[in-house]
Structure 1
């Protein structure tokens, strides 16, 4: 019995080491980021937007579009800007449900730009999966509401790469938390600028 259990663990670990993951943050992280953005927006924007529809959009790049080629900056930034602008047009035309969906999708692409395993190459599927699993135990928090999304994305991507390197060395969750917070910050900047 003990040998069987050990063999299962070894097989599973080997599988994780070989698998090349295609997603960045896990779906619960994308939902938490979209929710954090929604509840940080001005009251009038919260009244107009629909959180449920925003959450629906937050996972669609992975589960509906199967759009795995845009998980890395700068391609993810192009997609984020596309969805932010589309959401802004819907918002200005008072089609708040469509705006909510677009903003949810945009938060996905923005946050993928700051996902540590996607900021630096040369890592195993096991490391990526481990980071993703650990990130699901953390909650994003908006820590900086100032700045411009486009000008912040490049430096945030570099910060994420540094955080990834440090996390690989130390296994300290503070580096993942830093990136989750930055993903929430940038997502807030993008959506808030679109509704203001």
Structure 2
């Protein structure tokens, strides 16, 4: 069955809620950022905002056309079940063009070396669920890998370690997701 376009406009200008949710849980109406236009709009599509909200984060990402490289990296490191089983996390998910900046050879090298790739991926995950306002208020959050992530700006100009948030406050069953424009590099050990 072919997907049909809906009359619902892309959530490209929606601003995050004025008040931060204490638990970091968001709704599809809280999503913001110009990059959200790349998310399927048909609510029946599992990669749409409504579809992603129903699934745990790794499963939700696997249905999103903006995150195919991230999903490949998560699968290469056997982190799918780990991410899906977490109770409440925040994920900074690099969009495919962010991985493209690494180059195909570097991505293939990392994917072939899960011990090198896993700490990079863990640097994109925070062990607490935040929405955009909560991140702004925190100013800095600790990644699962132990490194600090600096949050700057607000609304459509929110950044994580200088990486722009392209589409933020995406709800999944167990995480709030922020699609970002670059792969974050963990600090040297």
Normalising by structure 2, we get a TM-score of: 0.30
Question: Based on CA coordinates, which of the two structures has the bigger radius of gyration?
Answer: 1
Q: Which has the higher helix share?
A: 1
Q: Which has the higher strand share?
A: 2
Normalising by structure 1, we get a TM-score of: 0.29
